[in-house]
Structure 1
Amino acid sequence: MAGQELAWFLRQRREDLRPADVGLPAGPRRRTPGLRREEVAQLAHMSVDYYARLEQARGPHPSPRILDSLADALRVSPAERIHLFRLAGATPAPPAGPVRQVRPHMVNLLRRIPEAAAVVTDASYDVIAFNPLADALLGNLRQEPNLARRRFLGLGSYESSSAEEFGHIAVARLRAAADRYPRDERLSRLLSGLRAASPEFTEIWNTNPVRAPSHRIKTITHPQLGPLRLNCDVLTIPDDQQVVFITADHGTPTARALRHLGAVG
């Protein structure tokens, strides 16, 4: 029989979610918070009765396939997925690839910080969400959304004083992603393309750098506004993603330039 801890985890995770988090309409007013059991069952492609029995700790031990479906339906983070499998007494297989969709509440957060440029990147450094100021500051993120490709293949629009430091940070993160997602073809194509086109990328890769993003100050040269001195801060969020906040010190010419870019955007 499935354990009480697994049942508690499923209930708590279901009650923490909102319909918008999983792409469902809110519908009529709900008497209790979170998703309904039938909604989770629908998302996980299983019967409502089977899911209800798991939440009540009276179902059989779920198979790895069932656990994967539950992890997808409940939008768990990679760490939560491992925890879910352990509660069920199962060993999780490596995830197929990075999560490449951003959670709706994070998109809403980007919209509420108009004086900061912000982007969300997945584990392969694809920009999967950004606000208008980031697009105006960094230069057409839709045309080339991968920050590693922009850095090593010269596809970014603007020059940066911290390009060398970011190169090592990017390679360290991509090496970690390659270890976590060895079956992801899209990531493999990215790495193959960088190795083939950038001797610098290959050289840094071979050193196996160990770098973590932190607070950095860099200067970029904007084609219209000239040099801009910027603060970059990275926040790690669920799903193996990061948010990069780019700001300027209050009262500086760069702060005024960012307000101008925001107004134009």
Structure 2
Amino acid sequence: MDTLLLQQRPAPGVLLLILNRPDKRNALNQALVRALDEALATAAADEDVACVVLTGDQRAFSAGADIHDQHAHGADVALSGERLAAWQRIADFEKPYIAAVNGYCLGGGNELAMMTDFIIAGENAIFGQPEINLGIFPGDGGTQRLPRLIGAKNAARMILTGERVSAERAWRMGLVSEVVANDDTVTHAVRLAAGIAGKSRQAARLAKATIRDGLDLTLADGLKLEHDNLRPLFGTDAQKDNMARFAAGERSHSGGEPARHRTSASA
């Protein structure tokens, strides 16, 4: 199982997870999903990990669920309690989490990428939910997360036609946050992750939770959640230190712009 998911520490506070079934275009079989679930559980408890980057290879982030498994075992494997519980834990990962996508990002691969906080795509990335071509439809969150990200009509078109979407079009629709050169996809995602890791880790986790949990609330309840989650950050070392530096920079500029290029302390 160790070879199915490679792990690297490319920068302080950053864990890079690499899906590693290249002969299957990183198809998500039970063993790979289990390996990812276990790796994220370990990362959640590891104080040295502040942000995770998930990627595949240049050919494929992931071409989707392992169709051979589903063909052989049907709904019993696709909708097994063990598998769905693992997917939910992957979606609920509490620390910041970035997908770096090159090549095919289809079906379950796209659903996995949507579980992260945002997606960096290489120019060669191709997104899609082609399950309709197999006589089924997305079952790992595609019918729910995709409309929330790109709107119901765009999502319906992707799901009902099974058509593939280029990185540029995915960016225009709001599925990905940025498109970069193919060779820069992972390094750029790692650079962003390192920047996140250098900030208050408590603030980052609470910000992520507030965004995620607020999507299921009314605006009024979401604003209350925002205020409730913000309050504990006042009085932390990170808040006091960073605001003190900001205030000192204001004073040193005699009312001008605050000093630039500060680094935030980690909580």
TM-score interval for Structure 1 and Structure 2 normalised by the shorter chain: under 0.3
Structure with more of its chain in helix, by fraction: 2
TM-score by length of 1: 0.26
> Which of the two has higher C-alpha Rg?
1
